[in-house]
A and B are shown apart, each in its own frame.
Chain A
Amino acid sequence: MATQHDEPTVDISAEHKDLTFRLELGDALAGAALLAFAVTFWVLGADIDDGGGYGVGAATFPRGIALLLGIGALVLLANGLVHLFGPPSGHLVTIGRPLHVIAGMGLMLAFAPAMRHLGYYPTMGVFLAALLWVADCRRPLHILAYVAGFLLFSKIVFEMILSIPLP
């Protein structure tokens, strides 16, 4: 892992497979993303019907907030860039097991579209089994038991007791 004295910008440790980078790089990336977000809201805000532009209209509040967020994001970005090219501050960001995290994000992102097409029970069954596997639960019988238990819980509590239909 990188130390304060010998600190690369990004380091993927082979031993722990952790992704470590300087906070300044994270600040620059987050600042750029938030700046883009604020600029998008500012630009799209120009198309909002503001009632002729007199007084405080529908666009005033979002554009005002977008402007302030843009300034804040710019400060974060500039601060990050200035420190990135300067001496290391020693503040590091570590993402442990990035492949597990990406797999988890992928499963979550796929859940809603899959539920729309396949329905709740098959989607939840596959999702839960896969997430348990990603989270290091590697005994198939245990996974089966947890999935079956959760689906039964959904059926009894949500569909039968609370009368909430699941697609």
Chain B
Amino acid sequence: MIDGFLAGLSAFSSWQVMAGLLGGVVIGYVVGALPGLSAGVGMALLIPFTFGLDPVVSVVMLVSLYMASEYSGAIPAILMNTPGEPSSAITALDGYPMRERGEAGEALTLSILGSAVGSIISTLLLIFTVMWMTKIALAFGPTEYFALAVLGLSLISTLAGHSILRGFIALLFGLLLTTVGADPVDGVMRYVFTDNLLGGFPFIAALIGLFALSEVLRMLESPGDRVTPLKELPGLTAQFGLLKPHAGNLVRSTFIGYILGVIPGAGATIASITAYSVQKRLSKSPETFGKGNPEGVVAAETANNACMPGALAPMLALGIPGKASTAVLVGALAIQGVRPGPLIFTQHPEIPYSIYIALLVGMPFMVLLGLFGSRLWVRLTTIPASVVTGIVAATCLLGTYSESNDIFAIGVAVGFGIVGYLLSKVDIEPAPIVLALVLGYMMESNFRRSLVMSGDDMGVFLREPISAICLVLAAVIFVAPLIQNLLTWRRRRGERDIRPGVETEVSR
């Protein structure tokens, strides 16, 4: 390990590597902040420019782009309720209400510092546990993935708002939408009314519609000359102090992000949702989640950035890309003649150790850019609402098109925007729909694959230990709020019986 680090450090003595690092961070900031452009797309667009570069410069540039874009998706999520990256949708749940209270600066500060802590601790975990963690990743087959998806869906009760029924309806609506397109096992077409739906509804378009375009319609409800009040940010040192009350949240969310990042296919969105839900359950004020609780911003951002080093573990140790961004990274390394896998640590030690160093060295630069930048970006909130409405809508439509080069995707985004707006009027929130869109395909495909492999034996889900643990946990999480609701209802009924003259409001 020491030799590897020395090889990595010697590579970092060249100015080209440092220029690649800084260039990657800046490009990553821009790519992540533009709705529709994900880290994977940004990296793919950058690859042609890395052909002539040294392999270390190339990989450092791509990894720092990946790291920066995972964070910067939070900026439009907080300022405009428009997630720059899918995982930032969870950040928007509390970040945007904070911005509406004039606390955009605090939300941006917490998001960058949470991201930094998550990324640095997760990188250290990656360095020391890379080989061990890949064994866990390999233990996941279809049965375990199905159980993991069910566990993810069980978190619905934390995203459902104040009505479990409405949360379930939103979840089922989202799940039904994931069944459009080719069936995941036999390839049979389902509900395909146009060729554009062969691959199902485009996820990014749906996400932009549900969060951003529905918000544009809500903004049209109020006069356009209003300006959000803006609370002043404290000095730079005091900005760091904002993170002080969140120490436990940071540690928990980092571990959740790292572990879920290692599992191929799980991804930053699931990590954010899980960390958010765990924090809501442990919080002293869970009722303020979704209404601008800073704990929600810290949990979501810490987990989604801790996920990124975790995703590098199976890629480096086994050559398995767990997500689109790491697949692009494998492609970029292949172009340079480097093959990720167990031998990379002996044949090209400078590559993995340069990645580790890039993650550790790039983060402070990213934090400084984020802390100074947050003072500038919060000024955006002082722009009149009419201008913000127009620019957000235009950016969303442009971003949706550029993600897929398909005009049909714009129609999907608009459709989801209108449906999301109308459903939110009757308290059916978009977050459970997004959760279902993320997990629906994963759940169905792995459920059916498990049954095919086991000869239609349903018992397989309880025989595998990881699967059984996930399903039992899911059952507890599903049932606990229902029991809690029942107990609350009985207590209220008891109080009403004691004081029959007092009218109590019907709980919806």
User: Which A residues form the contact surface with B (CB < 8 A)?
Assistant: 23, 26-27, 29-30, 34, 37-38, 41, 44-45, 48-51, 55-59, 61-62, 65-66, 68-69, 72-73, 75-76, 89-91, 93, 95-97, 100-101, 103-105, 108-109, 111-112, 115-116, 120, 124, 127-128, 131-132, 134-137, 142, 146, 150, 154, 157-158, 162-167
Contacts and interface: CB of A to CB of B under 8 A. Distances in A.
Nearest to B451: A56
The size bracket of the interface on B is 35 or more
Contacts of A115: 401, 407, 410
Q: What 7 A-B pairs have minimum CB-CB distances, sorted nearest first? A: A136-B224, A96-B221, A62-B179, A58-B183, A135-B386, A69-B172, A137-B386
Interface centre among B183, B225, B451, B456 (most CB of A within 10 A): B183
Contacts of B428: 30
B19 interface: no
A95 B425 contact: yes
Contacts of B397: 108, 111, 124, 127
Contacts of A134: 220
A76 B165 contact: yes
Contacts of A132: 386-387, 389-390
Given A158-B402, A162-B402, A137 B387 contact: yes
B283 to A, nearest CB: 26
B390 A128 contact: yes
B52 interface: no
A34 B173 contact: yes
A149 to B, nearest CB: 9
B505 A136 contact: no
Interface in B391-439: 391, 393-394, 397-398, 401-402, 405, 407-408, 410-411, 414, 417-418, 421-423, 425-428
Given A65-B172, A69-B169, A76-B165, A164 B405 contact: yes
Given A37-B176, A115-B407, A137-B386, 10 more contacts: A56-B451, A58-B188, A72-B168, A101-B421, A104-B217, A108-B418, A109-B418, A124-B394, A127-B394, A150-B394
A34 B506 CA distance: 24
Contacts of A165: 405
Contacts of A44: 191
Contact of B425 (A93, A103, A109): A93
Interface centre among A62, A115, A128 (most CB of B within 10 A): A62
A134 B213 CA distance: 15
A97 B508 contact: no
16 contacts: A26-B425, A48-B190, A57-B186, A58-B188, A76-B165, A97-B220, A101-B421, A108-B216, A115-B407, A124-B394, A124-B398, A135-B219, A135-B224, A142-B387, A146-B390, A165-B405
Contacts of B389: 131-132, 135
B390 A101 contact: no
Q: Is the interface of A mostly helix, strand, loop or mixed?
A: helix
B508 A91 contact: yes
Interface centre among A45, A50, A108, A137 (most CB of B within 10 A): A108
Contacts of A89: 505-506, 508
B221 A95 contact: yes
B172 A136 contact: no
Contacts, number: 175
A131 B393 contact: yes
B407 A116 contact: yes
Q: Is the interface of B mostly helix, strand, loop or mixed?
A: helix
A134 B393 CA distance: 12
Interface string B486-508: 00000000000000000001101
A146 B402 contact: no
A76 B391 CA distance: 36
B369 interface: no
Contacts of A66: 176
B108 interface: no
Contact of A58 (B165, B186, B390, B402): B186
A50 B189 CA distance: 11
Contacts of A157: 30, 34
B225 A136 contact: yes
A129 B345 CA distance: 56
Given A62-B176, A116-B407, A150-B391, A163 B45 contact: yes
B347 interface: no
A65 to B, nearest CB: 5
A101 B445 CA distance: 39
Nearest to B436: A65
Contacts of B342: none
B372 to A, nearest CB: 22
A121 to B, nearest CB: 11
B480 interface: no
Contacts of A23: 426-427, 508
A65 B426 contact: no
A79 to B, nearest CB: 8
B47 to A, nearest CB: 12
B235 interface: no
B387 to A, nearest CB: 6
Interface centre among A65, A76, A135, A146 (most CB of B within 10 A): A135
B90 interface: no
A75 B190 CA distance: 27
B222 interface: yes
Contacts of B422: 30
A141 B505 CA distance: 52
Interface string B157-175: 0000000011011001101
Contacts of A41: 176, 179, 191
